[in-house]
Amino acid sequence: MIAAWVAATAAIGLALAAALAALGAARIPSLLRRLALPLFGLVGVAAATAGTLTLLGGGVDDIQLPLGLPWLPWRLRLDALAGCFLTLIGLLTAAVGIYAPGYVRGFEQGRDSLAMLGAGSGLFLAGMLTVVLAADAMLFMVAWELMSLASYFLVVFHHDQPASRRAAFLYLLMAHVGGLAILLGFGVLAAFGHGFEFAALRAAPLTPGWATLAFALALLGFGMKAGLVPLHAWLPEAHPAAPSHISALMSGVMLKVAVYGFIRFTFDLLGEVHWQWGVATLALGSVSALYGVLMALLQNDLKRLLAWSSVENMGILFIALGLALIFLGEGHAGLGALALVAALLHAGNHALFKGLLFLGAGAILHSTHERDLEQMGGLLRRMPWTGLFFLIGCLAIAGLPPLNGFVSEWLTFQAALQSWQLDSGVLRSLIPVAAAVLALTSALAAAGFVRVYGIAFLGRARSRHVRRARPESRGMRLGQGLLAAGCVAAGLLPTPLIGVVAAVPEQLLGTGLPQATARGWLWLTPIAPEVASYSAPALALALAVAMAVAAWALRRGALRRVRRGDPWDCGFGPLTTRMQYSATAFAQPVRRVFAPLFAVDAGVELEAPGRLRYRVVIGDRLWKLLYAPFATATDGAARRVARLQSGNVRRYLGWTLATLLVLLWIIT
Amino acid sequence: MNLTTLPLLQQLVLLLAAIVLFTSFVLLSQARLVAAVHAFAGQGALIGAATAVVAAAGAGHHLYFSALLTLVLKALLIPWMLHRLVRRLELDRHIEVIERPALMIMAAVALVIFSYWLVLPIVERELMFTRNIVATSLAVVLIGLLMMVFRQQAVAQVLGFMSMENGLFLAAVSATGGMPLVVELGVAFDVLVAMVLFGVFFFQLRESIDSLDVDRLDRLSELAEERR
Amino acid sequence: MRKVKARLQNRRGAPVVQPLRDLRKLFVKEVRVAHGASPLFRAAPYVVFGATLLAAASVPLLGVTLPTATFADIVVVAGLLALARFFLALAAMDVGTAFGGMGASRELLIAALAEPAMLMAVFTLAMTAHSTNLASIVAYQLDDALALRPSYLFALGALCLVAIAETGRIPVDNPATHLELTMIHEAMLLEYSGRHLALMEWAAQIKLALYAALILNIFLPWGIAETLGAPALGIGLVAILLKLAGLGGALAVVETVLAKMRLFRAPAFLNLALLFGLLGLLSHVMLEVGR
């Protein structure tokens, strides 16, 4: 435990040190690359060590810091849940630390402030680590706001672009609304628990009504940070705006911190849960998953696409969490534990593959200065390593065996299939519907990532600068490789991983998953061997053997030679790269089938005489439906308030006097 | 309750009820009127069969008669009349445009779950069979009503109305062993008369507004009047 | 099956083993690969074949207890098929012709819509048998007393529709067409030749057999071997051959009667499958297990 504390403190300290060191980058631009970013790598290693030690040690430990307010000392706590998320943050940070030096090199000649980038990311990291460690509401909120504010500066990094500024403003606004909701949620608990330490909050005797209010506030606040539909509007704007390695951190880790907050608040602090909460969470999760994947399928901007896919994956995660809440509320602790483990595993998996994909997108951006899928093509030949790692990421995110995305989705399915144990018939029929949504989502995700990979890496280059793409630097390759290896390892050996993660429900709910790992590392049997079993290593081995045998049997023949020829062109003459199926075309059937969900603006316009152009703009229909009225209302209210602003000093003084009088009247 | 503990005939009734529910969905989403009439005939035949099975399970001999009545009336006579009507109104090639079919189906599924939720409070073990059947029939009734809400075509609305009646009949027969014969005859007669009236009504409608689109029947609303 | 179809079309038709002969011929033919195809293009047939083969190995064909059935349940089988499809679509987009992309886009749309319907059908079965292991489901079916389950009827309908869509048969796709605008699956294989094409075609045939065996052994499990003895397996072999012949004949009749539908009618087709699945599930919950 001591070692874990030392490592955790070292991680936060190093993050702050990196932030300080990066300030020097204002003078010496290469300082960021040579000192601050390697320190990030160390932060990651330290955090991962702390997390792993805590998880393996299995203890719970509280310490009180000599900091904070006089009557409200700050507390830290290390337990399995914190350990789980520390490991996750650490792994991704380490990979980003290795990757980023190569990536930020491109900014050294630019006008953007490197010091702000470095200091912002340092504080961002420190904030996230502290959120996970915090053991009282005060420190939690302070660290939470630190995380939000620091990431605002990262989103606004390219501040000369108006889109970036707009995204950052939206992000800041929504982060604060979310923060407010969380604060109120803690407030409800604190009012009953008479204290701000988590221990006091945990003991708070809540009536069901107040508990539901607190839950609703938490769902609102953390859901906003996690980007659940309909609270998602900031996410697809803000994530692509940041530099790619920061996008990886935001999508991979910051969303997970929101999930951590939700789990901590609901499963740990609130104590007794109700199944109705689970239904609400399940519904939000299903809607997010489906809407996210559909929007992702239609995007042509690679980073925006990945951001929408984060909305989808958060949806899947909240489906699992909703299942856990339903099972717990109905008194099936073992099944609740199963669903919770599925959610945690998906959190880890998503951090790995989404981090990997964002780093890959960053590598493409770095080499080609291109984010538009329509301009890419044939990158596999120019950047073979990134191509390989990106393929692994795509397979993982599409939920295909034997990689890691499949494992967590499989566990979620298994949990959903146990709904026959529930008493309520309505729940028994609702849960499978959610599972069907999950199936649709994962199939659409597979289609979406075939589209990404097929358009970007396969085929032929669609523009000149893509044809001349440079290969990525070694550090960037290594960073991606690390995450890809993580994806493969987590996919092939899920059972030991689940054995470790099961410590979380053991501490939170009092039940682990003894049956899941009962048959050794080879088999994953979440409920019982005859009910369902999955053996990733055996499957992968059999797959490899089948492929090898087929290849061997066929290559023995006399005709090993492969002749190259032109592709079939219907006899019309050579094919040009413009004849390839484009990203927009690929998504067209989906766009048409799910047409009512999108605000599509499509048509043919005349660009110049004789040149026609097909234009498609995909809008977010929910934006018009939910956010635009808010914005107009706020605008109108602000205009009305602005009438106070007459510019006359005496009138201001008059207002001050009036306020003072009212205040005095209230006090007495 | 487990299905396997029920006698075979009751299982058969359940099976038939489930298929009736399915035909309700078919009716709901079938855009071609002729095909919808056929689906309605199928539903009538299924209900007749279900009645016969209930009778065979020993619920009383008059149910055989009732089954025969249902079969003749709902599977043959009314569909035949409807069919003739459709043809005389020259609607047999007509394909109605259904707005948002997916939404409609989802609403229907939600109605099924809702009706199940409504009958859930009946918990006695002996009544489990009845409860499930009642849930199914209620769903058929509600879907019939939903059909009347969603469809614009007057003929389709009549089909929805008739399928509501089918749902009620199914509930009556399988849950309580059927109504007294007199009541049943009365209802059957009512339905027949209603059908004839509908036929006359269609022609009147057709003559006065030259269409069977019920959305145009808004003359009574002042707002609509102003809009013209 | 082709034979039955040919007969129905007043032709004599090729002998039953003709597909195998085609494959053998393709295996010894020379491979031509387009300029500009990446290594992925040449690796994909092996992945597709391996994944499909593995999926097929997990479906009980002759006997209930299979060594492979324990490491892959039905969700994994669906996952493996998805893996095969993923690589098939990628390979199609590799060369950079318009056909490949078009085929991939359409195939993935259909697969995405079929997936929930299939899962719903599977859920109905799994909730009845309380298991997703195929062997357990089949065993449960054998042990269970004869019951008329409405949910099974709907699940069967859903699975059949999904199988037709997934294996690219009429009316969703036509395996014999090479007309540009109508093909889905074939469009993706257009650039393949020789042994690569043979592997892809073989994988498609295995997939068809897989769905057939799945439907037959789940809904009509009788005759399948419950032990691994030779006589039991023999009976199982005869039974499955008879059942397969029956299903093949039925499919041929369906294909002859129906015409291929437009691509954008396919969602309606699969919505029907999804509706079957949903109804199966609901009728399972409502009618079969009251609590």
**Domain limits of chain C?**
18-285
Q: What is the pLDDT, as a whole number, of residue A401?
A: 83
Q: What is the pLDDT, as a whole number, of residue C70?
A: 66
CA A496, CA A485: separation in Å to the nearest integer?
A: 16
Q: Please, which residues 211-270 of chain C have a Cβ atom closer than 8 Å to chain B?
A: 268
- For chain A, percent helix, then strand, then coil, each to nearest 5? 70, 5, 20
Interval B132-154 mean pLDDT: 83
Q: What is the pLDDT, as a whole number, of residue A460?
A: 78
CA B165, B170, B171 angle in degrees (round to 5)? 100
8 Å CB contact of B120 and A425: yes
Interval A515-525 mean pLDDT: 72
Looking at residue A134, the DSSP 8-state letter turns out to be B
Q: CB of C245 within 8 Å of any CB in chain A? A: no
pLDDT band at B1 (very low <50, low <70, confident <90, very high): very low
pTM: predicted TM-score of the whole model, two decimal places: 0.87
| Residue A315, pLDDT above cutoff 80 | yes
Q: Please, which residues 143-172 of chain A have a Cβ atom closer than 8 Å to chain C?
A: none
8 Å CB contact of A425 and B116: yes
CA C179, CA C186: separation in Å to the nearest integer?
A: 9
Q: What is the pLDDT, as a whole number, of residue A160?
A: 81
pLDDT band at A582 (very low <50, low <70, confident <90, very high): confident
| Residue A660, pLDDT above cutoff 80 | yes
What residues of B are in the A interface, CB distance below 8 Å?
100, 102-103, 109, 113, 116-117, 120
Residues 6+ apart with CB under 8 A from C241: none
8 Å CB contact of C289 and B2: yes
Q: CB of C140 within 8 Å of any CB in chain B? A: no
8 Å CB contact of C153 and B19: yes
Q: Which residues of B touch A596 (CB under 8 A)?
A: 100, 102-103
Q: What is the pLDDT, as a whole number, of residue C291?
A: 47
| Residue A395, pLDDT above cutoff 70 | yes
Helix (H) or strand (E) holding A149: helix A137-155
pLDDT band at A321 (very low <50, low <70, confident <90, very high): very high
Are B18 and C268 in contact, with CB atoms under 8 Å apart?
A: no
Could you say which of C53, C86, C123 has the minimum Cβ distance to residue A398?
A: C86
Best residue in C23, C54, C151 for a mutation probing chain A (most A CBs within 10 Å): C54
pLDDT band at A613 (very low <50, low <70, confident <90, very high): low
Q: What is the pLDDT, as a whole number, of residue A237?
A: 85
Q: Please, which residues 492-551 of chain A have a Cβ atom closer than 8 Å to chain C?
A: 523, 529-535, 538-539, 542-544, 546-547, 550-551
Interval A123-140 mean pLDDT: 91
Q: CB of A553 within 8 Å of any CB in chain B? A: no
Looking at every residue in chain A, the average pLDDT score rounds to 84
Are B81 and B195 in contact, with CB atoms under 8 Å apart?
A: yes
Q: Which residues of B touch A425 (CB under 8 A)?
A: 116-117, 120
Amino acid, single-letter form, for residue A30: S
DSSP 3-state assignment of A350? helix
Could you say which of B4, B22, B113 has the minimum Cβ distance to residue C144?
A: B4
Q: Where do the structural domains in chain A lie, given as residue ranges?
A: 627-667
Q: CB of A426 within 8 Å of any CB in chain B? A: yes
β-pairing verdict for A611-619 and A61-69: unpaired
DSSP 3-state assignment of A67? strand
Q: Which of A294, A186, A170 is nearest to A232 (CA)?
A: A170
Interval C145-169 mean pLDDT: 79
pLDDT band at A181 (very low <50, low <70, confident <90, very high): very high
Residues 6+ apart with CB under 8 A from B222: none
> What ranges in A58-110 are assigned the alpha helix state H?
80-104
| Residue A388, pLDDT above cutoff 80 | yes
Partnered with residue A613 across adjacent β-strands are: A605
β-pairing verdict for A72-78 and A611-619: unpaired
| Residue B20, pLDDT above cutoff 50 | yes
Best residue in B99, B112, B114, B116 for a mutation probing chain A (most A CBs within 10 Å): B116
pLDDT band at C76 (very low <50, low <70, confident <90, very high): confident
Name the minimum distance, in Å, from the CA of A433 to any CA of chain B: 10
8 Å CB contact of A562 and C79: no
CA A466, CA A381: separation in Å to the nearest integer?
A: 11
CA B163, CA B25: separation in Å to the nearest integer?
A: 11
CA A534, CA A523: separation in Å to the nearest integer?
A: 6
| Residue A289, pLDDT above cutoff 80 | yes
Q: Which chains touch C (3 or more CB pairs under 8 A)?
A: A, B
| Residue A572, pLDDT above cutoff 70 | no
Could you say which of A458, A563, A581 has the minimum Cβ distance to residue C102?
A: A581
Amino acid, single-letter form, for residue C58: S
Q: CB of C96 within 8 Å of any CB in chain A? A: yes
Model confidence pLDDT, tens digit, residues A182-222 = 999 999 888 888 888 888 888 888 888 889 999 999 999 99
Range in A75-89, B69-83, C26-40, C169-183 with the lowest mean pLDDT: C169-183
Q: Which residues of B touch C278 (CB under 8 A)?
A: 109
What tokens appear for A219 in the block? 């769902």
Q: Which residues of B touch C147 (CB under 8 A)?
A: 3-4, 11
Looking at residue A604, the DSSP 8-state letter turns out to be E
Residue C260 Cα to chain centre, angstroms: 18
* Model ipTM value: 0.86
Q: How far is CA B196 from CA B68, B193, B203, B219, in A?
A: 21, 5, 11, 25
pLDDT band at A357 (very low <50, low <70, confident <90, very high): very high
Chain B's closest residue to C150, CA to CA, is B15
Are A321 and A222 in contact, with CB atoms under 8 Å apart?
A: no
| Residue C41, pLDDT above cutoff 70 | yes
* Most confident segment among A404-413, A646-655, B26-35, C35-44: A404-413
A368 phi/psi in degrees, rounded to 5: -120, -10
Model confidence pLDDT, tens digit, residues A89-131 = 999 999 998 998 888 887 777 777 788 888 889 999 999 999 9
Q: Please, which residues 173-192 of chain C have a Cβ atom closer than 8 Å to chain A?
A: 180, 190-191
Cβ neighbours, 10 Å, residue A329: 19
Chain A's closest residue to C40, CA to CA, is A458
Range in A329-338, A562-571, C147-156, C199-208 with the lowest mean pLDDT: A562-571
Q: What is the pLDDT, as a whole number, of residue A583?
A: 74
* Sign of torsion over alpha carbons B121, B127, B129, B135: negative
CA B55, CA A543: separation in Å to the nearest integer?
A: 57
DSSP string, C173-230: --TT---TTT-SHHHHTTT--HHHHHHHHHHHHHHHHHHHHHHHHHH--TT-BSS--H
| Residue A603, pLDDT above cutoff 70 | no
CA C41, CA C38: separation in Å to the nearest integer?
A: 6
Q: What is the pLDDT, as a whole number, of residue B228?
A: 47
Q: What is the pLDDT, as a whole number, of residue C179?
A: 59
Q: Which residues of B touch C289 (CB under 8 A)?
A: 1-3
Interval C19-28 mean pLDDT: 73
Percent of chain A with pLDDT over 70: 91
Cβ neighbours, 10 Å, residue C234: 12
Name the minimum distance, in Å, from the CA of A568 to any CA of chain C: 7
8 Å CB contact of C285 and B21: no
Are C28 and C35 in contact, with CB atoms under 8 Å apart?
A: no
Q: How far is CA A422 from CA A274, A323, C132, C242, C285, in A?
A: 14, 11, 18, 41, 11
Q: Which residues of B touch C285 (CB under 8 A)?
A: 116
pLDDT band at C167 (very low <50, low <70, confident <90, very high): confident
What tokens appear for C79 in the block? 């996952």
Q: What is the pLDDT, as a whole number, of residue C11?
A: 55
Residues 6+ apart with CB under 8 A from A633: none
Q: Which of A491, A235, A544, A541 is nearest to A356 (CA)?
A: A491
Q: Which of A381, A161, A346, A141 is nearest to A252 (CA)?
A: A346
DSSP 3-state assignment of A601? strand
Interval A327-351 mean pLDDT: 91
Q: Where do the structural domains in chain B lie, given as residue ranges?
A: 3-227
Range in A497-511, A566-580, B102-116, C121-135 with the lowest mean pLDDT: A566-580
Q: Which residues of C touch A519 (CB under 8 A)?
A: none
Could you say which of C30, C32, C285 has the minimum Cβ distance to residue A429?
A: C285
Q: Which residues of C touch B113 (CB under 8 A)?
A: 282
DSSP 3-state assignment of A75? strand
Q: Please, which residues 23-42 of chain C have a Cβ atom closer than 8 Å to chain A?
A: 27-36, 38, 40, 42
Q: What is the pLDDT, as a whole number, of residue A349?
A: 93
8 Å CB contact of A419 and C42: no
8 Å CB contact of B109 and C282: yes
